[in-house]
Amino acid sequence: MDENRNTVRISVRNLVEFILRSGDLDNRTGGKAELQAMQAGSRLHRKIQKQMGAGYRAEVALKEQVPMEGFDCILEGRADGIFTEEDLTWIDEIKGVYRELERIGEPEQVHLAQALCYGCIYARQQELQEIGIQMTYGNLETEELKYFRFRWTRANLEDWFGKLMKEYEKWARFQLDWKETCRDSIRSLEFPFPYREGQRELAAGVYRTILRKKRLFIQAPTGVGKTISTVFPAVKAVGEGLGDRIFYLTAKTVARTVAEEAFRILRKDGLRMKNVTLTAKEKLCVCEEVECNPDACPCAAGHFDRINDAVYELLTEGPDEISRDVILEQAGKHQVCPFELSLDTASWTDVIICDYNYVFDPNVRLKRFFGEGVRGDYLCLIDEAHNLVERSREMFSAAVCKEDFLELKRKLKGRDKKTERALERCNRYLLGLKRECETWQLHENVDPFLLQLLSLSSELERLREEELEPELQKEVLEFWFTVRDFLNVADRLSDNYVIYSELDGDGSFRLKLYCVETAENLRECLDKGRAAIFFSATLLPVTYYKHLLGDGEDYAIYVPSPFNRENRLLLLGQDVSSRYTRRNRTEYEKIAGYLNGMVKGKQGNYLAFFPSYRMMQDVYESYRELYGEETELLIQKTGMQETEREVFLDAFRQGGEAAREEKKSLLGFCVLGGIFSEGIDLKGEALIGAAVIGTGLPQICNEREILRQYYEKKEMDGFAYAYRYPGMNKVLQAAGRVIRTDRDAGVILLLDERFREPDYRRMFPVEWEDIRFCRIPEAGTVLKDFWNTRKSIPETASQPD
């Protein structure tokens, strides 16, 4: 065949699972069992293969180059086994299942199709006129086996195989044609703005990292234009064949919006790339409750019969930017699940904008890109990467609560004795740990409990097949997921984990597998791609983030702020404290005095960030009593809904009614590390000052103390890892709400004497070297003088950060 012809590659398994899928979408089957079944199935495969004798060839690699109109499709995979019996060659396909084998009346269509593909390829290569197909199903608990056998002529197999490949041909052709269109559009693409100071070097650093297949950590303050500076070189790299797909990962919805805007800007200059934004299932579901089965959702019935047509039409006739609204409209037109439509569409797009979970979380990650045995030239752009530390700890940890075992046992009483006994065994083990625990306790291992959980998992899997009332069926399913998650995390246990039990204040008792060091688990996914770029306005100290998210060989770049420091006043109030022991009426009035000096410096909009709701409320009351008539006040409430948040922010965007009418300043009281301390973008007059009260240290709790002790045992600074570094990140994020563009001017007020200490000063960004110290008596004068000397700032080309 012509070596210069274009080629498309696909695995046998992916081919048949994509083209031949059919029937209903049903969350009551499959799901999270897949990960556990994959691991247990590999063990069962090896055992069966060893038992088959010397004439049985296991894991036989097979490849076929299928000519298509204008290109070739390379199909490849591994047959589980090939053996000869009575002069007939047999292809053996082994599948491990948790179901009882008597419930399997015939092979699954896609399982059999996988074996048929291998049979056709092997019969062609060996010029066999007839071949046998054996489906071997093995129960993963009992290791009992069940066989299905079929004999096929080569002619019939080739006819079946030809129809299958013909169905795939249009998808392969779309893939090749679109890749050419995409790369042609990228060749002439140029950076869409005049480069800001440091921006060209930043973009070049990203490109070099991709070229060298490395990882890069970027600390770049607001205003540098981090998004476009990472997106543009990644796009150029795709155009030059250095990457085949961009994953833009975020922690918050607002960051996804900024990423979408960056691609829109490049699209105006001629870029042709398809990007899809993945939205949480709960936000896409058209039903009142997220129940993905044909009994609860009309879209679930026959979903797989219609989904491929919906995806193909969207790709070939839809817009390049596939937004949430586009997905919902297309899903409604074809009566398919919008969430599943977004995932299937993502398989064919150039850019996927999504939450961290879709790449890293073992239970949520996109298996089509990051599953076992899958890899590609992915470019991962990880926005607001400081959030990934705690998020990844959550992803790779798991916990069970003793009381949940008792509750399910109570609900199943008299219904299933085997499951009741399994639940009781787990409960008794946890009860033994509870009796030894006063507050929290570390454990070397919990191996006996894991064995009991494994047995319980089997009983719950069996129980899922039984006819239970819907509510109880749902509870059994959710508890089974919890057990499976715990067992999956248990398979990852290493020195990076701590096992601990904890007695909560309400008397409940839980056991947790806590992932402290996350870098190894993150690399499991990142190594499947080509390069990763971690970027944030707050990645200090960068050694901390490289330790927890990367490794010692990763690159790092510090980008200085492009903004004129004369437009920003950084003031440290050194005669006030937020220490718990200093929280009293006198201290609150001093803080209120500082805040009043800030808002009196110039009429405008200000935010004040506090270490807790309680302290925020106390200072708010003091301020309202002393200065309330002079200032319009807003305060963050616990559990604010999205509409309430927008009302709060709109007051700043519009200047506040009272502030406009009565020439008052607007002062918002917020919680440090909360919804208003990061991710909000109030430019120009929308926000001209922020006060940060306290060093942001997390509250002392069992898990923080476990972190501290873990690092101290490694002779590292445990207090810094558990408290100071996370705390100062919150401070820097809150301070970053001020000065969003090169036309902004504003003040940042740090209120805590601890900011003077070297351990905290070392974590200040370089731009903070001009910090000024003050006390209450002179604070107001300093603030007024700053505003009185400000000059108008010339307008320049704007670009998203």
Query: If pLDDT is split at 50, 70 and 90, which confidence band does 51 have?
Result: confident
Mind listing the pLDDT tens digit for each residue in 775-801? 999 999 999 999 998 765 555 556 766
Place of tokens 């922010």: 649
Residue 655 pLDDT exceeds 70: no
Tally of helices (H runs) and strands (E runs) in the chain = 29, 25
Q: Name the β-bridge partners of 67.
A: 72
pLDDT of residue 82: 94
Q: What is the DSSP string of 714-772?
A: TTS-HHIIIIIHHHHHHHHHHHTTS--STT--EEEEEE-GGGGSHHHHTTS-GGGGG-E
Quote the domain boundaries for residue 450. Answer: 398-515
Q: Name the β-bridge partners of 73.
A: 8, 66
Mean pLDDT value of segment 36-55: 66
CB 599 within 8 A of CB 663: no
**468 and 334 part of one domain:** no
Cα gap 641→652, rounded to integer Å: 18
Residue 196 placed within a domain: no
Cα gap 547→154, rounded to integer Å: 56
Residue 606 placed within a domain: yes
**380 and 462 part of one domain:** no
pLDDT of residue 658: 47
Mean pLDDT value of segment 265-274: 97
Tell me the backbone φ, ψ of residue 609, rounded to 5 degrees.
-110, 130
Q: Which amino acid is at 225?
A: G
**553 and 461 part of one domain:** no
pLDDT of residue 5: 82
Residue 384 pLDDT exceeds 50: yes
Our CA dihedral for 105, 108, 114, 119, rounded to 10 degrees, sits at 20
Mean pLDDT value of segment 333-338: 95
**54 and 145 part of one domain:** yes
- Distance between alpha carbon 14 and the CA centroid of its chain, in Å? 24
Mind listing the pLDDT tens digit for each residue in 413-444? 988 899 999 999 999 999 999 999 999 999 99
**439 and 371 part of one domain:** no
pLDDT of residue 255: 83
Residue bearing the bigger pLDDT, 83 or 103? 83
Mind listing the pLDDT tens digit for each residue in 225-243? 899 999 999 999 999 999 9
* Mean pLDDT of all residues belonging to the chain: 91
Residue 187 placed within a domain: no
**115 and 133 part of one domain:** yes
Q: Range with the lowest mean pLDDT among 19-23, 310-314, 688-692?
A: 19-23
Q: How many structural domains comprise the chain?
A: 5
Mind listing the pLDDT tens digit for each residue in 617-626? 999 999 999 9
Q: Is 257 helix (H, G, I), strand (E, B) or coil?
A: helix
Residue 798 placed within a domain: no
pLDDT of residue 43: 66
CA distances to 193, 195, 597, 752, 785 from 773, in Å: 38, 35, 15, 11, 15
Mind listing the pLDDT tens digit for each residue in 91-140? 999 988 877 888 889 999 999 999 999 999 999 999 999 999 999 998 87
DSSP, res 680: -
CATH of the domain at 363: 3.40.50.300
pLDDT of residue 469: 87
**594 and 713 part of one domain:** yes
Q: Which amino acid is at 151?
A: R
Query: If pLDDT is split at 50, 70 and 90, which confidence band does 340 have?
Result: very high
Query: If pLDDT is split at 50, 70 and 90, which confidence band does 12 have?
Result: very high
Tell me the backbone φ, ψ of residue 566, rounded to 5 degrees.
-65, -15
Q: What is the DSSP string of 67-120?
A: EETTEEEEEEEEEEEEEEETTEEEEEEEEEESS-GGG--S--HHHHHHHHHHHH
Residue 38 pLDDT exceeds 60: no
Query: If pLDDT is split at 50, 70 and 90, which confidence band does 659 have?
Result: low
**88 and 232 part of one domain:** no
CATH of the domain at 130: 3.90.320.10
pLDDT of residue 552: 80
Residue 144 pLDDT exceeds 90: no
Residue 180 placed within a domain: no
Cα gap 764→101, rounded to integer Å: 63
**614 and 738 part of one domain:** yes
Domain boundary among the residues 123, 154, 172 is at 172
- Distance between alpha carbon 611 and the CA centroid of its chain, in Å? 27
**300 and 422 part of one domain:** no
Q: Is 239 helix (H, G, I), strand (E, B) or coil?
A: helix
Mind listing the pLDDT tens digit for each residue in 392-415? 999 999 999 999 999 999 999 988
Residue 257 placed within a domain: yes
Mean pLDDT value of segment 500-517: 94
Mean pLDDT value of segment 48-54: 76
Reference 400, options 478, 516, 472; nearest CA is 478
pLDDT of residue 660: 57
What's the token pair of residue 51? 């038992």
Reference 81, options 160, 157, 147, 130; nearest CA is 147
Residue 494 placed within a domain: yes
- The count of residues in the chain is 801
pLDDT over 90 percentage in the chain: 77
Q: Which residues of 409-433 are buried (b: 16+ CB within 10 A; e: fewer)?
A: beebeeebeebbebbbbbbebbeeb
Q: Range with the lowest mean pLDDT among 76-90, 386-400, 642-656, 730-744?
A: 642-656
**732 and 665 part of one domain:** yes
pLDDT of residue 795: 53
Domain boundary among the residues 172, 191, 225 is at 172
Residue 799 placed within a domain: no
**653 and 738 part of one domain:** yes
